[in-house]
Amino acid sequence: MTMNVIGIRAITLTPFAYHSLMVQGGSATLPELIGDRAIAFGLASTLGMLCASVALPKKDYKRHLKAMPFRSSVFTTTAPRLLTPMIRRLNLTEEGGFDKKLQSVVKRGNLKDFFKTQEVPEGQIFTGAIFGINGFNPFEDQKKLVIRIGLHRNGMVLLEPANIESVRLNAATAALFDDDLAVERYCLHNLQLSPAYSLKEAQKKVLKWQ
């Protein structure tokens, strides 16, 4: 297997959030990074590689990532920012057709269906890399791509090739492919940052992810 490396600049076009850090009354996104899997699935969707289904498939990240003709680094920023907390609401009781008595119960106390999120603002710049397998290049026919990420894929991010000196890989993703990477920072169970690698060093690491 051969692999070409494409440095990428990612610019947020709209705010986005993930349930990452626990905060009072809700959750906050990790503002300094976009996970490699978020980039991978967002790019695969934009390129028409995902199948529509009425049911969610069984979670199998290794099988799903192996089916893609590329791998991704974690995308990071040196100037992380978050917007002020925003109150959101789930209306599953109304949409699910539950009776008014049950709806009244879940609007109060520990079952309250309001929660808070903190989003990454628009205009944030992240950098990372895409590793194309056997010459695959998502920018072969277009100079820029827009992907959707975040909760309910509400966020939009513009990807474009750029000169990047170093990237960080996700040691948790490497472990899916039986590769053991050093962990410089443990963010979440499925998001563990490696030390910074040059693109050439990162390419050697990712070549093992088959």
| pLDDT tens-digit readout, 2-46 | 899 999 999 999 999 998 888 777 788 999 999 999 999 999 999
Q: Is 14 exposed, middle or buried (CB count within 10 Å of its CB: 0-12, 13-18, 19+)?
A: middle
Whole-angstrom Cα distance, residue 39 to residue 41? 6
Residue 69 resides in a domain: yes
- Predicted confidence at residue 51, as pLDDT, reads 80
Residue 152 domain-assigned?
A: yes
pLDDT digit string, tens, across residues 140-197 = 989 999 999 998 899 999 999 999 999 999 999 999 999 999 999 999 999 999 999 9
Asked whether the predicted pLDDT for residue 115 surpasses 90, the reply is no
pLDDT band at 107 (very low <50, low <70, confident <90, very high): low
In a domain, 52, yes or no: yes
Count other C-beta atoms under 10 Å from residue 205's C-beta.
18
- pLDDT confidence of residue 88: 78
81 pLDDT above the threshold of 80: yes
Strands 185-188 and 166-167 turn out to be: unpaired
Among candidate residues 90, 88, 96, 93, the one with its CA nearest the CA of residue 105 = 93
On whether residue 106 sits in a domain, the answer given is no
Specify if 100 maps to a domain: no
**What does the pLDDT read at residue 176?**
97
Q: Which residues pair with 198 in a beta bridge?
A: 166
pTM for this predicted structure:
0.88
Domain of 40, in residue numbers: 3-83+119-206
Close Cβ partners of 1 (under 8 Å, ≥ 6 residues apart): 133, 134, 207, 210
pLDDT of 109 > 60? The answer is no
Look at the chain and report how many structural domains it folds into.
Answer: 1
Residue 98 lies inside a defined structural domain of this protein: no
CB atoms within 10 A of CB 192: 22
For the segment 103-131, the average pLDDT, to the nearest whole number, is: 81
Beta bridge partners, 130, equal 6, 72
199 SS3 class: helix
Q: How confident is the model at residue 102 (pLDDT cuts 50, 70, 90)?
A: low
Query: Residue by residue, what is the 3-state secondary structure of 23-63?
Result: ECCEEECCCCEECHHHHHHHHHHHCCCCCCCCCCCCCCHHH
- Note whether residue 105 is domain-resident: no
Specify if 112 maps to a domain: no
Residue 202's pLDDT is: 97
